[in-house]
Structure 1
């Protein structure tokens, strides 16, 4: 499937945030940001930003654009919902399954009762399987997977409610034979209510945002949650399904195993599935901490794919030097950026506007590095930041500025109508990060493995 040809009629559209230079021969953008050089013939195929596959040459160009992240798919056909089995793992959530089952009318539905204290009673058209003792959600999903006979399997948790058209909007992606998994956007079932409910509406860990994307490690959409996903059954069986030894981050592990196997994964935010968020503070905080404990087992299974910080040593130096807020530090940061720009310029010297392209790449790399370190200070490394704050007045001031600025920027990029203001959002974001970071350190200590805390610094 690594080189699976896109079918004729399949279309791709260049992402609107991608910028073209040198007559369309250089594209800069994508997530994460990258630079893509095209041959003149390939650039001519794109035209106004849309390319339809009509032969082997256009298929090759379209595949490269998709895999580089600068283009998004526009599928040509949609398999039938009758080709899908919906698998719902469940334990004791009677109210949730009563709400969910009517929304799945007309579909093949398998509910796996994972050791509920009271056995369930469901309508006759729903297949009910039962584990007498709880084996965890991964095992329940695998039990449902083994019972399915359709080409596709949708996994939905019992605390979700799919919106109209959710399935059809995802199915179209499978006209690309290399796509193994597609996931919808997960939104709040009840967006109104307490301050915590409104924060979760804007910033739930399950909501991956409004922007369509390829799912790959190291990108803004590095995984998709198993609360709602659609997969090719044969592919999932081939890779062994979910890892039943994992009770957290098993969805991340599955995404990365599929990626390592050469399969493509897509996030489709036009498809919506609503989730009944935890909005009592104790349950919310505990859940965030639990998510953090998943980093250590992931780091052990996927070497180098769970770094809290990933950047070049030159970007790291430039950011740290600027953070000193001293004259020498600022001069060192500027000098490093200029050297980086000159090195990049040599790469583009045969193209139009080489200086401008190099400056854009250097500036974006620096801004990305600043954002990574600011986020890591508040989230992954907050115990280290706290210790430094207690020891240094200068770091105390810097940490305060970073904590406030990062929170306000996060609010501005995630705010929803009726949501919290910047002050309350920032306060909840800091608590969110404290919980996740505590879980991260707890998991690393329990596993006696620091790989989940080790930054990846390249040359």
Structure 2
């Protein structure tokens, strides 16, 4: 692979801390890293940005990107030399939505519409012809994965834009995503998925979904990796190098096939970028029955993903010490808070020692330990109310402590999330939607676990911090405390 081109610009992640007057950087995901910079490397950074001007800058920028310490400034990147692309759109009996999507694609683009055995194929064919798209009509329904594979088999350009028929593209979405591919290691890139304004989106479920859609991965750019802050990405709207999609989708999967595709590409060394600077609008499900059923369907993808990616699918990831803190607090005894505080204190000291010679290591270690404990408690709350709710419901029948833990988890979730969600709902309806969301998704996870005769997908992972050393500059993992949940949700 060639290196990053001249003019490639990156900016430090908002959570990356600059320590010792610029001599070290602390941050990254899924494991937090302390990266000590040489004097030459420090001179390449201009505040929190770096623009590649020579090979040394390319090497440092690549390192920062790989560790999740920095992200590309998408609109400032150069375009790749060969940027021809083909759109592949799977559809089944949605001629109106298909026409809306095709109308948002630049005229003259190469487009392949795959009709996945529509019940009434005539209107789909008419819309495709009207917009000059190539139509592939499948004789039987293969599902989204099989339909996309049928389209991919016909692509002859270096890039492919996978788009579902219920998406509407912004004018600058595809051109901006293309700029990410000036990094030769980027194999896939996705925009932020927002809610499409429609008459039914004003219903309470529609308003909740607009703020809390499973497809919306947030406002911050990310390197998508299992166990990281953004651990998966949807192919509802995804730009990819064709060579990064070796083997295409697993056609046996009707749910979670997009997560599987992304994780396989990452395992083969490709980068998957999440770029929220550009958006694609999605027609969310707003009728309650359809919405609830779809949330449950998302959960059913858990077990097939666990079979294919056993290290990547876990409802929560804890370090040993954060697991001890959580267990102590869940015990709800007189000694619970003192023991949790003591464990956190010991962890603070150990993290400080791992940080080495930086300014105020104990203060930084204490802050990191506090963040790890808070994240672990948040994950525990999600386990209680979402992934484990059937077990929680049974426990609540027999245990006062279980009832108390469930109540605290459910209330704390709403109290902490509601003010920053921006949702146009009153707190009571927001709380109801949150719990229904959890009920549906958790039911799907348990159904998939029982059908697969394995409850591995429900087991949290205990992961100890690891340490690694780099040649160009010193880099060590200082925390693997509480990474984000690897499951799609």
State the TM bucket, normalised to the shorter chain.
over 0.9
Instruction: Measure how far apart 1:56 and its partner are.
Output: 2.1
Return the match for 2:426 from 408, 421, 424: 421
For CA contacts below 8 A with separation 6 or more, give which structure has more relative contact order: 2
Secondary structure of 2:202's match?
coil
CA distance in 2, matches of 1:86, 1:204: 24
1:431 correspondence with 2:432: no
CA distance in 2, matches of 1:19, 1:218: 21
1:10 corresponding residue in structure 2: 8
1:112 corresponding residue in structure 2: 114
1:28 corresponding residue in structure 2: 26
CA distance in 1, matches of 2:34, 2:233: 26
Kept in 2: contact 1:26–1:35 (CA 8 A): no
Kept in 1: contact 2:34–2:355 (CA 8 A): no
- Taking structure 1 as the reference length, what is the TM-score of the superposition? 0.95
Instruction: Measure how far apart 1:116 and its partner are.
Output: 0.7
Matches within 5 A, 1:332-371: 332-371=339-378
Change (3 A) 1:273 1:12: same
Instruction: Measure how far apart 1:426 and its partner are.
Output: 1.6
Instruction: Measure how far apart 1:123 and its partner are.
Output: 2.2
Structure 1, gaps ≥5 residues long = none
Secondary structure of 2:229's match?
coil
Secondary structure of 2:357's match?
coil
Q: Deviations over 1:264-321 (max 9, x none)?
A: 0101112211111111111111110011000100000012211111111211111221
2:380 corresponding residue in structure 1: 373
Kept in 2: contact 1:81–1:107 (CA 8 A): no
CA distance in 2, matches of 1:25, 1:323: 41
CA distance in 1, matches of 2:349, 2:100: 60
CA distance in 2, matches of 1:27, 1:39: 8
1:78 corresponding residue in structure 2: 79
CA distance in 2, matches of 1:328, 1:43: 47
CA distance in 2, matches of 1:313, 1:423: 36
Instruction: Measure how far apart 1:159 and its partner are.
Output: 1.0
Return the match for 1:209 from 202, 215, 218: 218
Secondary structure of 2:314's match?
coil
Q: Deviations over 1:148-199 (max 9, x none)?
A: 1111100111111112211111111000000000001111112641000000
CA distance in 1, matches of 2:401, 2:425: 31
User: How many equivalent pairs are there?
Assistant: 453
Kept in 2: contact 1:81–1:168 (CA 8 A): no
Kept in 2: contact 1:81–1:167 (CA 8 A): no
Kept in 1: contact 2:25–2:34 (CA 8 A): yes
Q: Deviations over 1:52-73 (max 9, x none)?
A: 1122222121111111112111
Secondary structure of 1:305's match?
coil
1:234 corresponding residue in structure 2: 243
CA distance in 2, matches of 1:186, 1:68: 25
Aligned-residue Cα RMSD (Å) equals 1.7
Instruction: Measure how far apart 1:394 and its partner are.
Output: 2.5
CA distance in 1, matches of 2:98, 2:403: 49
1:391 corresponding residue in structure 2: 398
Return the match for 2:257 from 230, 250, 260: 250
Kept in 2: contact 1:15–1:70 (CA 8 A): yes
1:220 corresponding residue in structure 2: 229
Structure 2, gaps ≥5 residues long = 465-489
CA distance in 2, matches of 1:285, 1:81: 43
CA distance in 1, matches of 2:298, 2:314: 16
- Taking structure 2 as the reference length, what is the TM-score of the superposition? 0.89
Instruction: Measure how far apart 1:32 and its partner are.
Output: 4.1
Kept in 2: contact 1:51–1:62 (CA 8 A): yes
Matches within 5 A, 1:45-444: 45-75=44-74, 76-79=77-80, 83-104=84-105, 105-119=107-121, 120-121=125-126, 122-123=128-129, 125-190=132-197, 192-236=201-245, 239-416=246-423, 419-444=424-449
2:478 corresponding residue in structure 1: none
Secondary structure of 1:379's match?
helix
Q: Deviations over 1:65-87 (max 9, x none)?
A: 11111211125312489711111
Kept in 2: contact 1:407–1:430 (CA 8 A): no
CA distance in 2, matches of 1:174, 1:314: 40
CA distance in 2, matches of 1:398, 1:151: 52
More off after superposition, 357-366 vs 121-130: 121-130
CA distance in 2, matches of 1:222, 1:429: 21
Kept in 2: contact 1:82–1:108 (CA 8 A): no
More off after superposition, 36-45 vs 142-151: 36-45
Change (3 A) 1:46 1:325: farther
